[in-house]
Structure 1
Amino acid sequence: MKTSRVLAVLVAALAASAPAADAQEITVMTRNVFLGADLNPAIGAPGIAEAINGAGTVWNELQATQFPERAVPLAAEIKASKADLVGLQEVALWHVQQPSDGGAPPISPVAGATAATTVAFDFLALLQAQLGSSYKVVVVQEEFQAELPVNADGNVATGTGPLASLGADLDARLTMRDVILVRRGSKVKLGKTRGGHFKTRYEPNVGGLEIPVDRGWVSVEARLGQRKFRFVNTHLEAFGDTKIREAQAKELLTGPLKTKTQVVLVGDLNSGIKRHNQPEKPGDDLAFKALKGFKDNGARQSCCFSSLTDPRAAFDHTVDHVLTKPGLKTVRARVTGNDPAARTPSGLWPSDHGGVISRLRLRG
């Protein structure tokens, strides 16, 4: 046999026996789906009367941002990504009660007020309906919950219940959730799930009533062949002092990120080290920098549209991340959610954030 033929046979044999690159590669995605409204008019209000009016602003924005419609392109993004694991943030659950009975603890000033129980919008159920059988829920973590009376029509003369004089038309309750999804048919095998809340949290005061804004994380133990890893999804604080989310990042390091297993961390950190066409705001990078030893495997500039209806809106900074430790090789990474063709029939962007998709090569 000629030498050239021998070499060819040896190369072919070695190629056949060597593991394929994709046998050790996973695709992950982080996606903030946007809870539907800016909460600041309510939780940033100086008193109860202003908070009820602010809640009306929030409620009306929620209606205008139409999550049932936005769920369609969001689900299409997730399915097209073929991500093995997806971390979702701001997967809101909105309950309503009408007529108002004064809200519910911890914000309500009315003794005996009860929590709203009628579902108005369940973002997870709406998204699952669009995903069909392509993805299933691994774990759901409930975060911030609060209920306020809502002056939906801006008219104090049409109020109901014990706070009718302040224009309360109904009560609306928000439950924030972080979720992990897995693609059906993925070769990634899943094990134990965990979740927790940060001890450090933002606690605004509305009319003398303290609002505990819980944030946290969820995780799942995973394996691809013999390669084990931990997948963690988180959403750090967006409001208040930037040192709050820095402290939350440090809690991650002593909590779910403290492991000898390789870790893939995804989520909205509300923090980054690079901005585009604008200066860095003081403290914006603290949480990101606190995650020492982690490699950034994500594409940059995935945030944030100030309006879902602005066709010229563009992402200009980085808060959504895919991070790994020990640092994994990024095969490829991209941002979704900024394609004008993906806007809904009524002209809405899928979210105020983009999604970040990264294909990673595991170690071992």
Structure 2
Amino acid sequence: MNSEHNLKVSFLTWNIYQGFTSEPLFAASPEQIPEVVTQVFRQFLATNFPVRAKAIAEVIASEKPDLIGLQEAVQVSLIIPTFRTVTYDFIDILLEALEEQGLKYEVAALNNDVKAELPDSNGNLVQFLDRDAILIRKDHKLDVIRKQEANFQTNLTIPLAGQPFTIIRGWSSIDVKIDGQVFRMINTHLEPAVEAIRNAQANEILQGPGNTILPVIITGDMNSIPNSTTYNLFINAGFQDVWSHVGNGLGYTAHQAPDLLNAVYMLNQRIDYIFFKNVWEPIEAELVGESQNDRTKTGLWPSDHAGVSAKLNLEDHHHEESSDESGSFIMNSDCE
């Protein structure tokens, strides 16, 4: 394939679910925290990511996307003082499951977001790190020539165990060269609870990595429905919604039950998106992970979200990267 023709590039965005709801933690008094941490950790174990990862990998194998935007790709550790630390690294677990499907992906960019460590009622510590990541197919002619990884300046602060706690979120991006063409992919997970903070985060992306002459794709859980204020910030900035062009049906992506055992599909909101701008032509889009056949043998849905998969043509363009979009790797991270 040469650069005189359009290039077909495929993307998938999926919030793979951290495996538990955090609301009980924020509702607990300092004295209640250890017991609630134990309950939350039990829910995390019950939603069994190692088993779900195999189901997620099977779905990904049916699509074989070039690039994947993951949200809630968390790392959870149980620190048992007298024994060992047991760590569940969702990215490592998923990469291994993908390899079992004959697919080789690697992490192209990763943002470390909110981090917490709390005692449980059994004398252990539970450590949590939220992350979003961009995965790239290893066996394709996709060269990452630049990456950026950052946390938002504006984040939600709420009480946890009697202390102010900031739920840090962020974004990462990569510039990818394929057959002499360059495009940018941005991945993020915006604040769900407070619209003003969510809008500020969206604007940080639009004024930062989204402000480019390059063809650009944004994947993510935007926690906002079509025609909401946050959604319209992207649209008014010139981005288009792949689903509204080539998706069939309502495209609902959220939410299954927190324990992932609801008998029938419960998705009733569209909040996960693939946005595009500058010389892309959408070809097709579909939901993934929303079918009964996608469930694990133990009945778990792969995630509380469906994923969105899309193929687009990258039309021939002759924009060179501008001086501030050189081929150098950039790390811009406020992560601890």
The partner residue of 2:15 within 26, 32, 37 is 32
The aligned amino acid for 1:295 is Q
Q: In terms of mean alpha carbon deviation, does 60-69 or 323-332 score higher?
A: 323-332
Which residue in 2 is equivalent to 1:136? 106
SS in 2 for 1:72: helix
Contact kept in structure 2, 1:180 and 1:233, CA below 8 Å: yes
Contact kept in structure 2, 1:72 and 1:130, CA below 8 Å: yes
The partner residue of 1:214 within 162, 165, 168 is 168
The partner residue of 1:297 within 228, 234, 242 is 242
Contact kept in structure 2, 1:295 and 1:326, CA below 8 Å: no
Which residue in 2 is equivalent to 1:273? 226
**By how many angstroms is 1:273 displaced?**
1.4
**By how many angstroms is 1:329 displaced?**
1.9
2:157 paired with 1:203? yes
Could you list the per-position Cα deviations for residues 150-200 of structure 1 after superposition, in whole angstroms to 9, with x for gaps in the alignment?
Answer: 23xxxxxxxxxxxxxxxx532101101111111122233221111101111
SS in 2 for 1:245: helix
Could you list the per-position Cα deviations for residues 294-316 of structure 1 after superposition, in whole angstroms to 9, with x for gaps in the alignment?
Answer: 10013421111124111212321
Q: Measured at CA, do residues 183 and 97 of structure 1 come closer, stay the same or move farther in structure 2, by a change above 3 Å?
A: same
Which residue in 2 is equivalent to 1:52? 34
- Greater radius of gyration (CA): 1
d(CA) in 1 for partners of 2:144 and 2:2?
Answer: 27
2:275 paired with 1:323? yes
**By how many angstroms is 1:147 displaced?**
1.1
**By how many angstroms is 1:324 displaced?**
0.8
d(CA) in 2 for partners of 1:142 and 1:88?
Answer: 12
d(CA) in 1 for partners of 2:145 and 2:279?
Answer: 22
Could you list the per-position Cα deviations for residues 213-245 of structure 1 after superposition, in whole angstroms to 9, with x for gaps in the alignment?
Answer: 110001110122232111111011123x22111
User: What RMSD, in angstroms, separates the aligned Cα atoms of the two structures?
Assistant: 2.2
Q: Output aligned runs, 1:121-160, within 5 Å.
A: 121-132=88-99, 133-151=103-121
The aligned amino acid for 2:35 is N
d(CA) in 1 for partners of 2:288 and 2:165?
Answer: 34
The aligned amino acid for 1:243 is A
**By how many angstroms is 1:135 displaced?**
1.4
2:180 paired with 1:226? yes
Q: Measured at CA, do residues 17 and 33 of structure 1 come closer, stay the same or move farther in structure 2, by a change above 3 Å?
A: closer
d(CA) in 2 for partners of 1:327 and 1:150?
Answer: 52
The aligned amino acid for 2:126 is A
d(CA) in 2 for partners of 1:53 and 1:255?
Answer: 42
User: Structure 1, unaligned stretches of length 5 or more?
Assistant: 1-15, 101-115, 152-167, 275-284
Q: Measured at CA, do residues 93 and 17 of structure 1 come closer, stay the same or move farther in structure 2, by a change above 3 Å?
A: closer
Which residue in 2 is equivalent to 1:287? 230
The aligned amino acid for 1:118 is T
Contact kept in structure 2, 1:42 and 1:53, CA below 8 Å: no
**By how many angstroms is 1:19 displaced?**
5.1
Length-normalised TM-score, structure 1: 0.79
Decide which structure has greater strand share: 2
Q: Output aligned runs, 1:96-175, within 5 Å.
A: 96-99=78-81, 118-132=85-99, 133-151=103-121, 169-175=123-129
d(CA) in 2 for partners of 1:207 and 1:315?
Answer: 32
Which residue in 2 is equivalent to 1:76? 58
Contact kept in structure 2, 1:247 and 1:287, CA below 8 Å: no
**By how many angstroms is 1:18 displaced?**
10
d(CA) in 2 for partners of 1:99 and 1:182?
Answer: 37
**By how many angstroms is 1:269 displaced?**
0.6
The aligned amino acid for 1:79 is A
Q: Measured at CA, do residues 50 and 290 of structure 1 come closer, stay the same or move farther in structure 2, by a change above 3 Å?
A: farther
Q: In terms of mean alpha carbon deviation, does 194-203 or 297-306 score higher?
A: 297-306
SS in 2 for 1:204: strand
Contact kept in structure 1, 2:15 and 2:221, CA below 8 Å: yes
d(CA) in 2 for partners of 1:144 and 1:18?
Answer: 41
d(CA) in 2 for partners of 1:17 and 1:62?
Answer: 47
Length-normalised TM-score, structure 2: 0.85
d(CA) in 2 for partners of 1:273 and 1:128?
Answer: 32
* Larger RCO, structures 1/2 (Cα 8 Å, 6+ apart): 2
Q: Measured at CA, do residues 327 and 225 of structure 1 come closer, stay the same or move farther in structure 2, by a change above 3 Å?
A: closer
Contact kept in structure 1, 2:111 and 2:151, CA below 8 Å: no
The partner residue of 2:284 within 332, 335, 350 is 332
The aligned amino acid for 1:236 is L
SS in 2 for 1:211: strand
Q: Measured at CA, do residues 19 and 213 of structure 1 come closer, stay the same or move farther in structure 2, by a change above 3 Å?
A: same
The partner residue of 1:85 within 40, 60, 67 is 67
